[in-house]
Amino acid sequence: MFPQFFAAIIVDLMISLTPYSLENPVEVSGEDYNKLVQMKEKGWSHCDSKEECLAKLHYLRSGFSQGKISIGDFNEREKKLVIGYWNRGS
């Protein structure tokens, strides 16, 4: 078992992809997060998993809240991510 100091560091490295979900939280490590938000062969908006879609939405929303992208770009990219993932199931 890790000393308490190290346990606190390990917990801090997890990124919550569903910060408002109390019943179904989804967390990933910083390393996994960085892998999930990378551009894929089929384009950045293509997601192969729920975690990848949530990570990309988290990344996109974080960039928007920091003023890195305009509202128009944000809306377009968010819509593309969500609709692409939604249509994947049909």
Instruction: Using a cut of 0.85, tell me whether the model's pTM lies above it.
Output: no
In a domain? residue 16: no
In a domain? residue 37: no
Residues spanned by the domain of 85: 47-90
CA dihedral 55, 86, 68, 72 (to 10 degrees): -170
Task: Indicate the pLDDT class of residue 90, thresholds 50, 70 and 90.
Answer: low
Q: What is the pLDDT of residues 39-85, one digit of tens each?
A: 888 888 899 999 999 999 999 999 999 999 999 999 999 999 999 99
The token pair at 48 is: 């192969």
In a domain? residue 24: no
In a domain? residue 11: no
How many domains are contained in the chain? 1
